[in-house]
A = this chain, B = another copy of it.
Amino acid sequence: MVRGLSFELDAGRALQITWPNGAGKTSLLRALSGLLHVESGSIHWLGRSIFGDLRAFHDDMAFCSHEPGLKPDLTIDENLHFAAGVRRRCNINERHAALARVGLTGLQDDPARRLSAGQQRRVALARLCLQGATLWLLDEPAAHLDAQGQALVSQLVSEHVRAGGLALIATNQPLALAPDISDELPPARLAARAGPA
């Protein structure tokens, strides 16, 4: 549904997409991650088209979508263990560190089902950190988060970026990022698209 959009993002920078509702933020991120088929146009990572070797690209990329993707029956720690473990080995200390980072210390052995909307989001952020990817694609990372939580997100992003990472953030609550590391993506020319995404 998005047309005539072209941008590039280099290491050490974050890009915020703050288009209005329905402008195509989610769709754009899904397309960039290779989940959604792009009708026309190309996506390059490290100079090569991502469709050449999708898995290599995914090794460097982490996508944090609307759904937190937690198993209600597993404890928070187990959730992290399995979710992050599929990509990189991470030991229990790393996991607890990550949980502490997002302010969920002490909850690691609670079943995820107990968590409120915002607490789940925070677990998703912890997973994001553990996955240790270079490129972050974040969809509404700050949704459901209280003020202190939103500050946390901005902080995580800037650290990641300062450490040479990249971040692409679709959000309606723009994050407070230092201008030297972040840009805003100008609204793309919108056009109706055929058929469901």
Contacts and interface: CB of A to CB of B under 8 A. Distances in A.
Contacts of A114: 196
A21 B118 contact: yes
A114 B195 CA distance: 9
Q: What's the number of copies of this chain in the assembled complex?
A: 2
Interface residues of A, number: 27
A47 interface: no
Interface string A135-170: 000001001111111000000000000000000000
Nearest to A149: B21
Nearest to A107: B22
Q: Which 6 A-B pairs have the closest CB atoms?
A: A21-B118, A22-B116, A20-B146, A146-B172, A22-B119, A21-B146
Interface of A: 18-22, 26, 66, 113-119, 121-122, 140, 143-149, 172-173, 196
